[in-house]
Amino acid sequence: MPRFNKKRSKKAGLPPGTLVHVGKKRTEKTRITILDYDQTDFREREVKSVEKCFPFKDTSTVTWINIDGIHQIEIIEKIGKHFNLHPLVLEDIVNTEQRPKLDDFEGYIFLVMKMPYFDKENNTIKLEQISLVLGPNFVISFQELEGDALNPVRERIKNGRVRIRRSGTDYLIYALIDAIVDNYFTILEKTGEQIANIEEKLLNEPEKETLHDIHDLKREMLLFRKAVWPLRELVSSLERGELELINEPTRVFLRDVYDHTIQVIDTIETFRDMLTGMLDLYLSSISNKTNEVMRVLTIIATIFIPLTFVAGLYGMNFEYMPELKWKWSYPLVLLVISVTGIFMLFYFRRKKWL
Amino acid sequence: MPRFNKKRSKKAGLPPGTLVHVGKKRTEKTRITILDYDQTDFREREVKSVEKCFPFKDTSTVTWINIDGIHQIEIIEKIGKHFNLHPLVLEDIVNTEQRPKLDDFEGYIFLVMKMPYFDKENNTIKLEQISLVLGPNFVISFQELEGDALNPVRERIKNGRVRIRRSGTDYLIYALIDAIVDNYFTILEKTGEQIANIEEKLLNEPEKETLHDIHDLKREMLLFRKAVWPLRELVSSLERGELELINEPTRVFLRDVYDHTIQVIDTIETFRDMLTGMLDLYLSSISNKTNEVMRVLTIIATIFIPLTFVAGLYGMNFEYMPELKWKWSYPLVLLVISVTGIFMLFYFRRKKWL
Amino acid sequence: MPRFNKKRSKKAGLPPGTLVHVGKKRTEKTRITILDYDQTDFREREVKSVEKCFPFKDTSTVTWINIDGIHQIEIIEKIGKHFNLHPLVLEDIVNTEQRPKLDDFEGYIFLVMKMPYFDKENNTIKLEQISLVLGPNFVISFQELEGDALNPVRERIKNGRVRIRRSGTDYLIYALIDAIVDNYFTILEKTGEQIANIEEKLLNEPEKETLHDIHDLKREMLLFRKAVWPLRELVSSLERGELELINEPTRVFLRDVYDHTIQVIDTIETFRDMLTGMLDLYLSSISNKTNEVMRVLTIIATIFIPLTFVAGLYGMNFEYMPELKWKWSYPLVLLVISVTGIFMLFYFRRKKWL
Amino acid sequence: MPRFNKKRSKKAGLPPGTLVHVGKKRTEKTRITILDYDQTDFREREVKSVEKCFPFKDTSTVTWINIDGIHQIEIIEKIGKHFNLHPLVLEDIVNTEQRPKLDDFEGYIFLVMKMPYFDKENNTIKLEQISLVLGPNFVISFQELEGDALNPVRERIKNGRVRIRRSGTDYLIYALIDAIVDNYFTILEKTGEQIANIEEKLLNEPEKETLHDIHDLKREMLLFRKAVWPLRELVSSLERGELELINEPTRVFLRDVYDHTIQVIDTIETFRDMLTGMLDLYLSSISNKTNEVMRVLTIIATIFIPLTFVAGLYGMNFEYMPELKWKWSYPLVLLVISVTGIFMLFYFRRKKWL
Amino acid sequence: MPRFNKKRSKKAGLPPGTLVHVGKKRTEKTRITILDYDQTDFREREVKSVEKCFPFKDTSTVTWINIDGIHQIEIIEKIGKHFNLHPLVLEDIVNTEQRPKLDDFEGYIFLVMKMPYFDKENNTIKLEQISLVLGPNFVISFQELEGDALNPVRERIKNGRVRIRRSGTDYLIYALIDAIVDNYFTILEKTGEQIANIEEKLLNEPEKETLHDIHDLKREMLLFRKAVWPLRELVSSLERGELELINEPTRVFLRDVYDHTIQVIDTIETFRDMLTGMLDLYLSSISNKTNEVMRVLTIIATIFIPLTFVAGLYGMNFEYMPELKWKWSYPLVLLVISVTGIFMLFYFRRKKWL
């Protein structure tokens, strides 16, 4: 919950373009890695100072600069200055409360996306913000954390001889977005399994915890939905082909990512519907169970209360109670009581109350 | 439930166009059948090796190549190579988690659809994925399973002298889609009967199982809906007449399929509404029934508790209780008790509590 | 319920244009009546053989051919042949599971509509399918049953000197659609009265049956809605003026029908909202009533249980219970019991529990 | 409730343009008043015969003819004839079941609107239908009842020297619509107060009546909504400036009315949301209260039932019950009973059940 | 609640452009401050009479006139006259029931917005209305109260050397809107914390108050929503670039504000969904808890009632009850009772009822 706009208020009233890091406080040092490649060559290195990546701005090779950690504002500022990024872009990069979006600027495209990852410490799913800047021959990616979600892309580049090495930055950006969307699939698959587990439990023995599990998953889907709906628009803008930096051959791939995004949305909506259905099922199961228990208990009481009354009747101390003197009274009363009890039992059973 | 994105994660991070079979693991051998016909001639045969169907690519006759089983990736790859299919198309064919869609490529159209079928083993309704590739003089269909849903089309072709033999591949694709949509009707009809049965049961004697039946049908409708909504778009794209491979005379038939699709959607939505209504009805019936039972039981207890008190009163052992000595005390107490009991009974009945 | 797609599956797999009657099985003979008129002349007759209406195809007068009963497929086929109707149109005419729609063909317009009628046998409201074919100088109407809904139009034509006699087939089609839409008003008015009755009952004494009544009306509104929404589109298409067969002066009347259709939809939606509100009201009334009853009963029990305990206390047979010997014990106990009882009564009343 | 389409069926089957008064039966005589003015002159008079207003059709001054009462069909017919109104317009005027709408005819615009008013007799809010005909130099308004809602406009005209006297019929129509929309504000304000009252009651002591009050307000909002949504469209059509009879300077005022209409809709929707929220709150409050009561009562019973058992135990008449002879048995039993009772009390309290 | 349209009815029937203050009655004097600046100079002063700000209308510097308090109608009127504002604009300024909107007039743009603020007196969040008039070289802002929300903008202007000093009135208006939108973030952040608190409480120990807290927050979100949705449109109109007074370079900043507005809406909708989920959770928690309590209590009663019956049985006073004479009867009965009780306890536990 505390994800919502925490610390966002720090920025209220500041002039636009003021860089304020909004997000979880972090202490790790920012890590900068550079991948530079064309069809034949490939270099990868990690640099200590941000200035090291400046020369790549104008080389003809494709360069992917990856920044892990966005809390060191001065680094972001230097990059912004050298690569001519608009102050508002820099502001958005360091503000992790951003909504996914695409902004088309003179000479570069700026993208913000959310990526789900499994936070092992808290055992929950979280969303990390990834910002991408797509230039004519460089791509800069900004991640909140060091993550391995983009590694497959890195591997593919290393392996050479694949399409990615023959293509430009637009294909690289496609590959990155594709990796991010694939992450949603991986996470949703786990969610699907969780839902299946909960459902099974629901049909066998609903428990109190089930309610909270359903509630948590619903909440998660709510967050995902908020993150993926704008993503759809974003990919759609890329694919429509109105952006100069996106070449025609890449568009068929972007259409593919678009389809995946729709599928993610579809799955989220289906999960939401399923969870709602399960909540209803849970509530009525619980209520059914309680009703059943109460009914059985009440029936037991109902059978014995009149019998107790009969017993109480002959426990009265009146002097003139002729029945008390009769020899067969006691067995008779026992008989009456037994018959009444058994009759009630049968009656309730026949009425299907038991 | 486990249908959702199971194994979809296997693909995360792979370059686009990598063929990975996503779906239920199967062991049957892929079965390839070829139907080749024009207005006068007709040949049907089953081939062992995929290469046998290559020559049909450029014949002037209409050829329908049907592939049952998509788990043998090498076969799909060979077909893809020979018929010049885009790697992404092949990837989609072997990924059974696809969303229904139409992609228009240079020289061919690619369609993915979902077809409902009754799985006799598990006694449930499932969705199978069917991919279709429509070329100028060939249609390739890829099915997950050997199924008989497309048989009627095969029969019609065999019978000769019907429109299908006089028409091209666009009419064949129409016939296939029509057969798939007709399948929905058949399945929905069964669902309709199930709903009618459940409803009848609901009005007579609602049971615990009814809840699960309704829940299952709701889930089924959810899946159908997810499969049919995009189908509508797909058929609409075919019918709009912007695709070169679809001839004018076929479009009136596609409009007919479009109407059917809308009708399927309408029926699904109506079923959903009906099921929701039935769920409400069930819940209030159950709650009504429980309330009734509890009320009757409580009334019985309520009548006897005060009577028991009276009896208890005269069961006290005080020495100085003059009533105990009186001759008519006992009959009087019995009278009081009876009158009180009967009065309460009447009172509750008049208040319509009983 | 059994209305949904019953027998629709009979058609699965047949080539398009195959005539299969889908609907309630009927045995009556098809009845064909012809109305032929222009501004001066008027002829009405019932013909035994379908061929008798063929000559009217090309006369300059306006001809309305009405077919009551669509289960005799050979008749429909003959008409289709003579009037050059597309096979798909014929298929739609005999399939009573059609969705309301308008199809514009070369030389004629085809319309399918649903008309509500009160089925006296089953005491329920049903929907009958009416198909209309509008040609340049003829209108053919196909009804499932012999009905009197279109009689007013017939009367108006007979009476001469009204606009309908001066106008062409487009005005006739308007008059027929108007009669059908008016039928909705008549039926909805009855529904409105039923709703008012139920509501009154709801406020005075909610019963178990009320629930089913509300449920039935909701179901009815669901069916109406499914029938009227596409009707709106249909009328809108007619009115937009893109159809050659509709003349300008008729369009202002069609706009009027369009308004009526919107009003029907509005009323249906309002009824739906009202019924949902009533369902909520019913449920909470019932639950309120039960709670009240239970509370009163529980209070009675609660008052007597402690009193019974006191009585039981002095029913114990210990030898050394000094109170038992005291003279005023019994009256005292009686007093304590009465006071306790009365106090509890007052306490519960003051707490507004009673 | 009986408002819906009551008597609408009277019209079924009649040719279009047949005047049938649909609405509450009335007996008052129709009242016709004429306001004729330009920048300098002003005349107001009530006329007995409808023919008196005919000469104003072609005068250059602005004339507002107000008809209170639409049940005298012959008057409406005469006006229709003289002012060349389309038969459908007349039909709509006398049919009080109309949906708000704007129809643009050759030479005049026809508007139907609903106006809320407080019916003092029944102490409820009702909707009255007002039809307006806007000609180049006359406005005819038709009201169901003599009402004072349009009086402010009349006063403004009388007062001279205001914009309304300098402007044409388009400004007059604006002023009338504005007065009608203002009426909604007045009524909604009262509703707002009612909602505030109910809410206060809800938080302090929810009663059974509250449910019906909320239900009634919800119903009212439903009716308002049905009346105001089409009003929005209507005003929007006027404002868009495609109508010849509306002059440019008036449009800025119409935009203002448009804003007001949106605000009315906003308020209605907010009220609906609030009422739904209040219904939920009411239901859970009631259910909370009942649960609480039941819990307390059950706890009392639960405490005394075991105690009664103990007492019953020593009321048994066995000869060999050594405890009965012991001297301290009785005080001991009393002690045990007291301690058990108190212990249970504490236990329940600690568990927060009491 | 009493916010809705309170006093709005005062205006009903008045001619448009009549200034009537609609809103909370206030007594403070209106406070007028002027900020006049260009890139080099800066003057700030508070003026006593409204005429003092008239000369700034035509100076080349940027002037921001801020009016705190709109209840002194004569001041608003004077400003309106001098700055040539349309009477409807003035009417809107003094009517605090306005919906956020943008009106484009000849020579100036008029904006109405709602700003949330924390009312310390009542400890609740309220919405204040801010109206802005944007001229070629002046901006006039009208606030209901003296507030500090716009102070940051004032500070930035004072500080010189920032973009705001180099830009025109369009940038100033951007800065003001940005400050207002930032206010929403600040308030929503607090709401987010409240939601987190409530949720924590919900999971640990749900209380009656929780219901009201959730209800209040839902209500608040409803109001916010009503205020922010039209704000989105407003900012979008500014950004689209169809307004002459907005220069190209400012639009990128407006796009940024637009993104923020969308984010505010997103957050509000997410909060609404979360609150609905929490309400469901609360209700089922409460119902779960009650059910549990009732079950335990009923079980206690159910165990003791049959035991009491057995005790009652041997409390009967029949002369011929052989068991009463037997020596081991009493211990045997005790044994039977204990065993029965323990058996029931185990049975209920095994059935998971306890």
For residue D286, give every residue at least 6 positions away whose Cβ sits within 8 Å of its Cβ, in sequence order, or none.
C284, C288, C291, D206
Partner residue opposite C185 with nearest CB, options D5, D16, D314: D5
Average pLDDT, chain E: 88
Beta-carbon separation of C86 and B252 below 8 A: yes
Distance from CA of A174 to the nearest CA of E (A): 24
* Helices within chain B (DSSP H only): 73-82, 87-94, 151-158, 163-166, 169-204, 208-239, 248-313, 322-325, 329-350
Shared-domain flag, residues C254 and C310: no
Q: Does the pLDDT value for residue E282 go beyond 70? A: yes
pLDDT-derived band at D78 (thresholds 50, 70, 90) equals very high
Report the percentage of chain E scoring pLDDT > 90.
Answer: 44
Burial of E55 (0-12, 13-18, 19+ CB in 10 A): exposed
Residue E5 lies in a domain: no
Choose the mutation target among B330, B336, B340 for the interface with A, i.e. most A CBs under 10 Å. B330
Residue B69 lies in a domain: yes
pLDDT per residue over A20-36, tens digit each?
888 877 777 889 999 99
Q: Does the pLDDT value for residue A223 go beyond 70? A: yes
Residue D8 lies in a domain: no
pLDDT for res E231: 94
pLDDT for res B5: 41
Q: Does the pLDDT value for residue B295 go beyond 70? A: yes
pLDDT per residue over B23-36, tens digit each?
877 777 889 999 99
Sign of CA dihedral A175, A180, A181, A186: positive
Residue D27 or C283, more confident:
C283
pLDDT per residue over A289-318, tens digit each?
888 888 888 888 889 999 999 999 999 998
Beta-carbon separation of B162 and C15 below 8 A: yes
Q: Which string of DSSP letters, residue by residue, matches D205-245?
A: ---HHHHHHHHHHHHHHHHHHHHHHHHHHHHHHHHTT--TT
HSE toward the beta carbon, residue C127, CA cutoff 13 A: 26
Residue B194 lies in a domain: yes
Residue E189 lies in a domain: yes
Partner residue opposite D293 with nearest CB, options C183, C186, C295: C295
* Overall average pLDDT of the B322-341 stretch: 91
Residue C5 lies in a domain: no
Residue A199 lies in a domain: yes
Shared-domain flag, residues B97 and B215: yes
Query: From D95, which residue of chain C is nearest by alpha-carbon distance?
Result: C260
Shared-domain flag, residues C264 and C309: no
Beta-carbon separation of C277 and D219 below 8 A: yes
Rounded to an integer, what distance in angstroms lies between the CA atom of residue A231 and that of residue A222?
15
Distance from CA of A231 to the nearest CA of E (A): 14
Shared-domain flag, residues A106 and A225: yes
**pTM, entire model:** 0.82
pLDDT for res B98: 87
Shared-domain flag, residues B274 and B128: yes
pLDDT-derived band at A7 (thresholds 50, 70, 90) equals low
Report the percentage of chain D scoring pLDDT > 70.
Answer: 97
Report the percentage of chain D scoring pLDDT > 90.
Answer: 44
* Overall average pLDDT of the E207-234 stretch: 89
Residues of A in contact with E308 (CB under 8 A): 304, 308
Partner residue opposite A192 with nearest CB, options B4, B86, B327: B4
For residue E55, give every residue at least 6 positions away whose Cβ sits within 8 Å of its Cβ, in sequence order, or none.
none
Query: From E161, which residue of chain A is nearest by alpha-carbon distance?
Result: A15
Q: Does the pLDDT value for residue E170 go beyond 90? A: yes
Which of D226, D259, D284 corresponds to the end of one domain?
D284
pLDDT per residue over E127-137, tens digit each?
999 999 999 99
pLDDT-derived band at A8 (thresholds 50, 70, 90) equals low
Residue C154 lies in a domain: yes
Beta-carbon separation of A195 and B315 below 8 A: no
* Overall average pLDDT of the B3-22 stretch: 69
Beta-carbon separation of D8 and C185 below 8 A: yes
Q: Which string of DSSP letters, residue by residue, matches E321-352?
A: -HHHH-SSHHHHHHHHHHHHHHHHHHHHHHTT
Shared-domain flag, residues D194 and D336: no
Across the C/D interface, how many CB contacts are shorter than 8 Å?
161
Q: What is the dihedral of CA B156, B157, B163, B167, to 10 degrees?
A: 150
Shared-domain flag, residues C71 and C157: yes
Helix (H, G, I), strand (E, B) or coil at D104: strand
Query: From B148, which residue of chain C is nearest by alpha-carbon distance?
Result: C13
Residue E109 or B18, more confident:
E109
Rounded to an integer, what distance in angstroms lies between the CA atom of residue A210 and that of residue A201?
8
pLDDT for res B71: 87
Residues of E in contact with A222 (CB under 8 A): 270, 273-274, 277
Q: Which string of DSSP letters, residue by residue, matches A13-69?
A: TSPTT----BSS---SPPEEEEEEE-SS-EEEEEESSGGGGGGGGS-SSEEEEEEE-
E residues 300-339 lying closer than 8 A (beta carbon) to A: 301-302, 305-306, 308-309, 312-313, 315-321
Across the A/B interface, how many CB contacts are shorter than 8 Å?
159
* Overall average pLDDT of the D305-311 stretch: 92
Quick check: A242 contacting E, CB < 8 Å? no
pLDDT for res D4: 42
- Highest mean pLDDT pick, A155-164, B257-266, D122-131, E145-154: B257-266
Burial of E206 (0-12, 13-18, 19+ CB in 10 A): buried
Nearest to D305 by CA among B16, E42, E302: E302
Quick check: E28 contacting A, CB < 8 Å? no
What ipTM was reported for this prediction? 0.77
Which of D284, D308, D341 corresponds to the end of one domain?
D284
Report the percentage of chain B scoring pLDDT > 90.
Answer: 44
Quick check: E197 contacting A, CB < 8 Å? no
Shared-domain flag, residues D113 and D165: yes
Quick check: A222 contacting B, CB < 8 Å? no
Query: Of the ranges A182-196, B62-76, D2-16, E261-275, which one carries the lowest mean pLDDT score?
Result: D2-16
pLDDT for res E293: 84
pLDDT for res C97: 85
* Overall average pLDDT of the D113-133 stretch: 88
Residues of A in contact with E317 (CB under 8 A): 314-317, 321, 324
pLDDT for res B6: 47
Quick check: B9 contacting A, CB < 8 Å? yes
State the CB neighbour count (10 A cutoff) for residue A50. Answer: 19
Q: Does the pLDDT value for residue E300 go beyond 80? A: yes
State the CB neighbour count (10 A cutoff) for residue C119. Answer: 12
Residue listed under structure tokens 């114990």: C316
Distance from CA of B273 to the nearest CA of C (A): 8
What CATH number should be reported for the domain holding residue C254?
Answer: 3.30.460.20
What CATH number should be reported for the domain holding residue E341?
Answer: 1.20.58.340
Q: Does the pLDDT value for residue D54 go beyond 60? A: yes
Shared-domain flag, residues E197 and E217: yes
Rounded to an integer, what distance in angstroms lies between the CA atom of residue E278 and that of residue E198?
9
pLDDT for res A1: 37
Domain assignment of residue D329, given as a range: 288-350
Query: From B105, which residue of chain A is nearest by alpha-carbon distance?
Result: A252
* Overall average pLDDT of the E200-205 stretch: 82
Partner residue opposite A182 with nearest CB, options B12, B98, B324: B12
Residue type, C282: Y
Quick check: E123 contacting A, CB < 8 Å? no
Q: How far is CA C261 from CA C190, C229, C254, C257, E235, in A?
A: 17, 9, 10, 6, 38
Burial of B43 (0-12, 13-18, 19+ CB in 10 A): exposed
Predicted confidence pLDDT, tens digits, chain C (354 residues): 334 444 566 777 777 878 888 887 777 788 999 999 988 888 999 998 888 888 888 888 999 999 998 888 899 999 999 999 998 999 999 988 888 999 999 889 999 999 998 887 777 888 999 999 999 999 999 998 887 788 889 988 988 777 888 889 999 999 999 999 999 998 998 899 999 999 888 877 777 788 888 988 998 999 999 999 999 999 999 988 788 899 988 998 999 999 999 999 999 999 999 999 898 888 888 888 888 888 888 888 889 999 999 999 999 998 888 888 888 889 999 999 999 999 999 999 898 887
Q: Which string of DSSP letters, residue by residue, matches D272-301?
A: HHHHHHHHHHHHHHHHHHHHHHHHHHHHHH
Partner residue opposite A290 with nearest CB, options E274, E291, E319: E291
pLDDT per residue over E226-254, tens digit each?
999 999 999 999 988 788 899 988 998 99
Query: Facing residues of E134 across strands?
Result: E109, E139
pLDDT for res E18: 81
Partner residue opposite C309 with nearest CB, options D219, D307, D324: D307
Average pLDDT, chain D: 88
Query: From A296, which residue of chain E is nearest by alpha-carbon distance?
Result: E302
Rounded to an integer, what distance in angstroms lies between the CA atom of residue E218 and that of residue E195?
10
pLDDT per residue over B39-66, tens digit each?
888 899 999 888 888 888 888 899 999 9
Rounded to an integer, what distance in angstroms lies between the CA atom of residue D144 and that of residue D131?
9
Locate B67 and state its tokens: 């592939």
pLDDT per residue over E35-56, tens digit each?
999 888 889 999 988 888 888 8
Rounded to an integer, what distance in angstroms lies between the CA atom of residue B194 and that of residue B212?
13
Shared-domain flag, residues D126 and D64: yes
Distance from CA of E205 to the nearest CA of A (A): 14
How many domains is chain A built from?
Answer: 2
pLDDT-derived band at B8 (thresholds 50, 70, 90) equals low
Which of D242, D261, D284 corresponds to the end of one domain?
D284
Shared-domain flag, residues D321 and D271: no
Shared-domain flag, residues C199 and C256: yes
